[in-house]
Each structure stands twice: as structure tokens, then as C-alpha cells.
Amino acid sequence: MSVVILDGSTVRGFVADDDAFARSVDARFEALNTNSDGVLSCAKLRRALESFLLLYGAGFGSAQLAPVPAEVSALYDSVFEQFDADHSSAVDRAEFRDRMRCILGS
């Protein structure tokens, strides 16, 4: 197994490369858009966040999801609101790209 260390200049270079950034972010969007309707609902984004299992102590790769406490649910809702810039209750590809650019570019 190899380890790759990314520094800020590498990430900024990736974000600045519009074509590479768009391809990568669009591929992630399509992977999350499980029903191919062109938007991410709160439920779709929540499933992606829950798959990380960061807040449960179960670790990466666990197939078992723990119940989501109210605080974690509120956190997921807050993350969704950050992605849903137009407050349409859905995140389209442009909103997803814009938020990912903000997250990675800051």
C-alpha cells in the first residue's frame, strides 16, 4: 500500500485546473446520484456522510451503521444546507461543484 501526502499547493493546483476538477467532482456527483435524476437530495448526501462513520467510532469500512443521534442528524442537515445554495431542497451539479471548490480551495 502506498501513501500520498497532499499539501496545500497540490490541492490548490487541482482546484485551479478547471477540467480536472470538473471531471473529478462530476464523477463523485454521479456516484452519489444513485437514481440518475440529476440532483442530490438530503437523503442521498446523508447516506454519503453516514458511510464515513466518522462520528460513530465504528471506523472506516464497517458495513454496520449505528443509529444517528439528533446532534449528528442536525449536523448532516447543516452540511446539506451549505450545499443547497438556492434552498431548493436539492443539490444540482453546479451547486455541488461550487461547494466542493469552496471546501477544497480555502
Q: What is the pLDDT of residues 2-54, one digit of tens each?
A: 777 777 888 888 889 999 999 999 999 999 999 999 999 999 998 888 776 65
pTM exceeding the 0.85 threshold for the entire prediction: no
Cell of 55: 462520528
CB 50 within 8 A of CB 15: no
- What is the tens place of the pLDDT at every residue in 51-86? 766 555 555 555 666 556 787 888 889 999 999 999
Q: Which parts of 33-69 fold into alpha helices (H)?
A: 42-52
Q: How far apart are CA 81 and CA 70, in angstroms?
A: 16
C-alpha dist (Å) from residue 87 to 42, 61, 76, 100: 11, 32, 15, 17
Domains and CATH numbers, the chain: 8-105 (1.10.238.10)
